[in-house]
């Protein structure tokens, strides 16, 4: 089947649906835990609920990938958005009638699980909606939407929650999902229906075996690159998510009020870094070569060195904050470009009939790696306190090790 050239109307409908759907998902995933904390007052409960919420995403990503390769991807998007809209309305109906903790936990589980099933369909649709030359740019657009939703969703959700409480947020989210689903009905994604020869469970087992065999034996470099992506999430992304807030809130000598504000600014700065990375990948497009992707991780590792030196030197908190923010933002930008490069390579090289399953494994493995890193960093920062610079220097060495391994992988392409 001949591929579409450039960015078609169908691709832009996918983009519009992503903008609306991800925004609704983002504000709910931000507002629900905050509401739980305000009602119960338990930080430990918040940590448990938030920590376990990622599990459905990791579980549903491979399942979503298998479904994406067997069902029209448009239908998957439409169904999941309608389903999420209905789920939000059900939450509103049950609110106050059942345990809030259980209700929030189930809702977060469902939101993350739906996201895990949804994203493989979006990623797998890109190669059939744009030509090879535009795959990198298309991925950059999708990445920027994700970064923007992560930046604007919590910001606007926080303002709305402080002014009006949880109910308006849920109504807006339900409307977002409904509008997105209606828009997606008009998307045309090329699809060849596969004839079912055996039971669905047998087919799912065969799909799992086929995709793993492809990653491990037919294209082992994809498996190795998946490990590199997981390493980036575990070493770099987890460090930025856990390390920087801990340092700003607890280690730098800011007042409690200052630290809270600066922590919020730091979160926004990191999100902006991801957005800049998406814009950079889109602008560079075909000029970027996957064989040089290892340099991006190497630069990220190098950027951790001045962060560690700043903490070791015990300089003024404002200098430390500026260095950490600048280096953190740059690292997130480079990591975003790296992720887009790897995802684009997979979409281009993997056969269309299994691309959803392969991408879902990349998402699942990378997703599982990040919370592992977060737990490890949490323990390390708790134990080391003022020796936090050791964590950054160790992470720098690990990042450069990942870059060297990545270099060996891409040399085989």
Contact between 400 and 392 (Cβ < 8 Å): no
Last residue of a domain, one of 152, 186, 220: 186
Pair (180, 213) in one structural domain = no
Output the pLDDT for position 193.
Answer: 65
Say which range, 142-151, 190-199, 375-384, has the weakest mean pLDDT. Answer: 190-199
Pair (37, 115) in one structural domain = yes
Pair (169, 220) in one structural domain = no
pLDDT in tens, 355-407: 777 877 787 788 778 777 877 887 788 788 778 889 999 999 999 999 999 98
pLDDT at 255 over 50: yes
Pair (40, 91) in one structural domain = yes
Output the pLDDT for position 397.
Answer: 95
Distance CA 331, CA 395 (A): 13
Output the pLDDT for position 283.
Answer: 73
Pair (150, 17) in one structural domain = yes
Domain range for 62 is 1-186
Output the pLDDT for position 154.
Answer: 66
pLDDT in tens, 316-335: 889 998 999 899 899 988 98
Output the pLDDT for position 306.
Answer: 93
Q: How many domains does the chain have?
A: 2
**Which residues 6+ apart lie within 8 Å of 58 measured at CB?**
116, 364, 367, 368
**Domain annotation covers residue 105:** yes
Distance CA 34, CA 389 (A): 31
Q: Give me the CATH number covering residue 175.
A: 1.20.1250.20
Between 28 and 38, the more confident residue is 28
Most confident of 16-20, 292-296, 297-301: 297-301
**Domain annotation covers residue 221:** yes
pLDDT at 167 over 80: yes
pLDDT at 262 over 80: no
Q: What is the mean pLDDT of residues 213-232?
A: 84
pLDDT at 201 over 50: yes
Pair (114, 61) in one structural domain = yes
Output the pLDDT for position 45.
Answer: 65
Tell me the average pLDDT of the chain: 80
Pair (173, 277) in one structural domain = no
Sequence length of the chain is: 413
Between 219 and 143, the more confident residue is 219
pLDDT in tens, 70-95: 778 888 889 999 999 999 999 989 98
Exposure letters 101-135 (e unless 16+ CB within 10 A, then b): bebbbebbbbbbbbbbbbbbbbbbbbbbbbeeebb
| Burial of 330 (C-beta count, 10 Å sphere; 0-12/13-18/19+) | middle
**Domain annotation covers residue 230:** yes
Q: What is the mean pLDDT of residues 87-113?
A: 85
Between 190 and 85, the more confident residue is 85
**Domain annotation covers residue 55:** yes
pLDDT at 281 over 70: yes
Assign 23 a pLDDT band (cuts: 50, 70, 90): confident
pLDDT at 263 over 90: no
Residue where the block lists tokens 């994203």: 119
**Domain annotation covers residue 194:** no
**Domain annotation covers residue 246:** yes
pLDDT at 2 over 60: no
**Domain annotation covers residue 198:** no
Assign 246 a pLDDT band (cuts: 50, 70, 90): confident
Distance CA 185, CA 76 (A): 10
Output the pLDDT for position 376.
Answer: 82
Distance CA 113, CA 82 (A): 15
Pair (331, 396) in one structural domain = yes
Pair (32, 128) in one structural domain = yes
């Amino acid at each position: 089947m001949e591929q579409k050239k450039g960015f078609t109307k169908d691709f832009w409908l996918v983009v519009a649906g992503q903008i609306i759907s991800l925004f609704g998902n983002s504000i709910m995933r931000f507002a629900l835990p905050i509401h739980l904390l305000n009602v119960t007052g338990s930080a430990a409960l918040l940590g448990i609920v938030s920590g376990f919420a990622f599990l459905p995403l990791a579980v549903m990503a491979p399942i979503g990938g298998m479904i994406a390769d067997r069902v029209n991807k448009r239908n998957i998007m439409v169904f999941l958005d309608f389903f999420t809209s209905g789920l939000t309305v059900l939450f509103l109906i049950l609110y106050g009638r059942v345990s809030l903790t259980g209700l929030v936990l189930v809702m977060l589980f469902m939101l993350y699980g739906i996201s895990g099933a949804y994203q493989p369909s979006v990623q797998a649709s890109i190669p059939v909606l744009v030509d090879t030359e535009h795959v990198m740019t298309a991925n950059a657009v999708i990445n920027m939407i994700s970064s923007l939703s992560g930046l604007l969703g919590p910001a606007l959700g926080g303002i709305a929650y402080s002014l009006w409480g949880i109910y308006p947020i849920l109504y807006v989210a339900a409307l977002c999902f409904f509008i997105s689903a209606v828009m997606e009905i008009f998307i045309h994604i090329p699809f060849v229906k596969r004839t079912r020869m055996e039971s669905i469970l047998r087919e799912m087992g065969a799909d799992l075996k086929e995709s793993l065999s492809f990653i491990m034996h037919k294209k082992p470099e994809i498996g190795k690159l998946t490990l590199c992506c997981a390493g980036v999430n575990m070493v770099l992304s987890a460090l930025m998510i856990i390390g920087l807030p801990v340092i700003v809130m607890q280690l730098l000598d800011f007042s409690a009020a200052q630290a809270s504000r600066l922590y919020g600014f730091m979160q926004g700065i990191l999100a902006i870094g991801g957005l800049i990375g998406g814009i950079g990948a889109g602008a560079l497009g075909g000029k970027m070569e996957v064989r040089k992707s290892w340099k991006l991780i190497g630069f990220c590792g190098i950027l951790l060195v001045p962060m560690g030196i700043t903490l070791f030197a015990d300089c003024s908190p404002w200098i430390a904050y500026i260095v950490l923010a600048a280096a953190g933002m740059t690292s997130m930008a480079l990591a975003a470009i790296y992720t887009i490069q790897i995802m684009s390579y997979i979409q281009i090289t993997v056969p269309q009939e299994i691309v959803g399953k392969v991408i879902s494994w990349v998402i699942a493995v990378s997703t599982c790696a990040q919370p592992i890193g977060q737990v490890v960093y949490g323990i390390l920062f708790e134990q080391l306190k003022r020796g936090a610079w050791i964590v950054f220097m160790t992470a720098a060495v690990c990042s450069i090790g990942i870059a060297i391994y990545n270099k060996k992988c891409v040399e085989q392409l």
